Amino acid sequence: MSVENAPVVDVDEAAIPVEKKMYYRFESNDKKEFRVSELAIQQSETLNRLVEAMGYTSEDVENKPAIAIENIDGKTLKLVFQWCEHHKGEAIPVDDGSVPKIVEIPEFDAKLMDIDNGLLFKLIWAADYLNIVQLLNVSCKKVANMAQGKTPAQLRRVYLLPSDEEDEAAKRAAQEAQDPRAREVEEEFEERKRQGGNSFF
Amino acid sequence: MTDFFKNNPKFLRHCLLYEYLQKNTVEEAFIVFCMMIENDIVKKEEFQCYYYNQFEEGIFDKNDDNKPITDILQRDKYALRACILYDSLKYKMAEFGHSTRFLWPKSNSTFYEIKSNPSFAMYKNFLKVIGEDVMEYREFDFWFYRFLNGEYDLKCERDEDKKIYELMDMPIDVMENIVEYLNIVDRIKLSKTSRSLQTFVEDQKLFQKTLFLGLSCYTSGVSLGDIVNSTYTQSYRSVEGCTPEQALLCFKSIIKNPKLHLDSLEIELDVGQNWLESFPSLEKVINVLEGALKFTHYLNVKEIFLAEYSWDQLSKILPSLKPGYLTTIRIVSYNPNEDSMKKVFETEQWKRAKCFEFISGHEFIWPLHHLYHFNEFSVFLETFSLENIRQMKEMLFKSTNFKKCTVMVRRIINMSTIEQELGVYIREYLDARIYHYPIPNSTEYFEITIDYEAIEIERKK
């Protein structure tokens, strides 16, 4: 088991009140471990609720197993916690949907998101799952910025969007997987139509 | 990086060939190369030798000169990766402030394209130089960012079976978050990619700064534009110089979107009654404007700006706008129509608006008390009477919403009449006299500034 040190190296001890200096241990689904400050955890509503409910003491953190985050891998989680540590203590934006969101991508975030699309979408998925509002905002904005000025064909390439035909084929495949008889019924229906019958029955 | 190329001279030649295929000159390529990688790794003479004695002769490797030079990169996945690595190193230089035109002299990508989505801009150039079907974008993107983040192992393999998260795999709230940042033009392009995305995109709220419709005898047009925030900087598009019918059709196709939220709807009807008679098609369009704004939903418009010859249109347009969402009414009008404005005063939209601004045109001929529910208003009057100031004291000064107003007057104001009601002025400033009117049971007061042509009133603490 490896311990990822990167997210926790830049801790400003003086800026954090004594009672906030606790660290928690988290483990990704590929067994990478991270130590994250309590203040950084507050950026994630999901993790914050989790640690509050657990009520760990400093001894518990060391003695009990790291808290497992089953569906996020180490590479993604490292980015998530780096972001949380950098933005710890910042206010969490509230979005009531009534006005257009004004989101600027700070330099740190832009650098952090210099990653391929696959990893970027994983980061977004993780931010949504862990409910980290501002990380979700900046990463979604980054994805939106990619669309600017592109043709529909280029957008398909950038976002790997399926065409209508591929979309329908995927739906059919999913349907068939659920109900193997569906294909047979459809073929029978097509055959009857070819023979001139209007009704299936 | 220097060690990497020293240990892999073949990859170095691939990069040189990539430069050659981009039609960059020896000078252009050599300067960039030396800035990226240490000077002594390849001498300029060697560079020239590769360019002129080998590549131009169609030879990549003197020991293996059977392969056509154009196939060298296409058929070797490691050579392709070396080219991506080379582009990622160049991009790093761009991040340090080097001009993109200097780094990619023959590329069609603009600085903005490279900065906003570097891997796609590089990818477009890569395909143009090496071949259209040489690599999928996702693979290029993977290698580009891997190299950019300092991982230079060309021989590692991507795990292609791994679940890759794509836009369409994202939860609905994430998709909504992404689409929210797209302007109207990019949304239309995204909705053209598939039917399912079209349905989704059309269902999302769209905030736009301004929608303008101009109809006149000479030119008509529609424009969508200006910025609400930086997201909308690219959204300026206009259709100008079209016929009134085309303009109205285009306008209707935009405004019909129930998810559209406009900061400002601007309608300019630059026509007088006698002109209209000479332009029947224009008259027809103006007559159907009211119908063009009617849908089963109210239009989400914060501010309506209307410039027209008569005050007729306001009574026709206002009922289509969402009461309460509409905060500001701004108007330019020359021919007062008493009856149509009476209808306006009765509308919920007028009663719940917060601000009325009369920009220019004919005097306001209706009683001023129709404006007293606004937080702010400005208006143009024929004259300002003793009765006006008495009514203001009785009604306007008792309104808790009222913040400020400007009343411009055509005839000269009689200062002594005002003084009867407001008492002695506090001070003078140029031609103006300034009065204070205390608000009972409050530390606030109204500051009233009067000169011969205008009265300004503002709530102050």
Whether residue B12 is found in the same domain as residue B124: yes
Q: What one-letter code names the amino acid at A104?
A: E
Whether residue B143 is found in the same domain as residue B73: yes
Whether residue B102 is found in the same domain as residue B180: no
A interface with B, Cβ–Cβ < 8 A, is 97, 99-104, 114-119, 121-122, 124-125, 128, 136-137, 140-141, 143-152, 154-164, 167
Q: What are phi and psi of B137, to 5 degrees?
A: -60, -40
Whether residue B143 is found in the same domain as residue B177: no
Q: Are B411 and B388 in contact (CB under 8 A)?
A: no
- Please check whether residue B26 lies inside any domain of the structure: yes
Q: What is the ipTM of this complex?
A: 0.76
- Give the single-character DSSP code of B54: I
CB contact under 8 A, A158 and B144: no
Per-residue pLDDT of chain A (201 residues; tens, 9 = 90+): 444 443 443 444 444 444 547 899 999 999 999 999 999 999 999 999 999 998 888 888 888 889 999 899 999 999 999 999 999 999 998 877 667 778 999 999 999 999 988 899 999 999 999 999 999 999 999 999 988 878 888 888 888 887 777 667 777 777 777 665 656 656 665 666 566 544 333
Q: How many CB atoms neighbour CB B282 within 10 A? A: 22
Give pLDDT tens digits for B394-412.
899 999 999 999 999 988 8
- Please check whether residue B176 lies inside any domain of the structure: yes
Structural domain containing residue B142: 2-148
Q: What is the CATH number of domain A2-145?
A: 3.30.710.10
Quote the tokens at residue B322. Answer: 């969402």
Whether residue B60 is found in the same domain as residue B114: yes
The Cα B72–Cα B50 span in angstroms is 14
Give pLDDT tens digits for B16-57.
888 888 888 888 888 888 887 766 677 778 778 777 777 877
A105 burial class (0-12, 13-18, 19+ CB within 10 angstroms)?
A: middle
Checking if the pLDDT of B302 tops 90, the result is yes
Whether residue B58 is found in the same domain as residue B176: no
Neighbouring residues of B319: CB distance < 8 A, sequence distance ≥ 6:
B347, B349
Q: Are B154 and B82 in contact (CB under 8 A)?
A: yes
Considering CB atoms only, which of B166, B207, B228 is closest to A160? B166
CB contact under 8 A, B193 and A137: no
3-state secondary structure of A68: strand
Quote the tokens at residue B388. Answer: 């006006």
Whether residue B73 is found in the same domain as residue B35: yes
3-state secondary structure of B238: strand
Whether residue B174 is found in the same domain as residue B109: no
Residue of B142, B168, B180 to mutate for A, most A C-beta atoms under 10 A:
B180
To 10 degrees, what angle do helices B415-422 and B386-394 make?
Answer: 30
- Please check whether residue B162 lies inside any domain of the structure: no
Per CB-CB distance under 8 Å, the chain A contacts of B169 are: 121
Per CB-CB distance under 8 Å, the chain B contacts of A161 are: 166-168, 193-194, 197
CB contact under 8 A, A103 and B181: yes
Give pLDDT tens digits for B279-292.
777 777 887 888 88
Q: How many CB atoms neighbour CB B297 within 10 A? A: 13
Considering CB atoms only, which of A121, A128, A141 is closest to B181? A141
Q: Are B102 and B32 in contact (CB under 8 A)?
A: yes
Total of domains in chain B: 2
The number of helices, as runs of H, and strands, as runs of E, in chain B is 21, 13
Q: How many CB atoms neighbour CB B179 within 10 A? A: 24
Neighbouring residues of A61: CB distance < 8 A, sequence distance ≥ 6:
A22, A23, A24, A25
- Sequence ranges of the domains in chain A: 2-145, 164-201
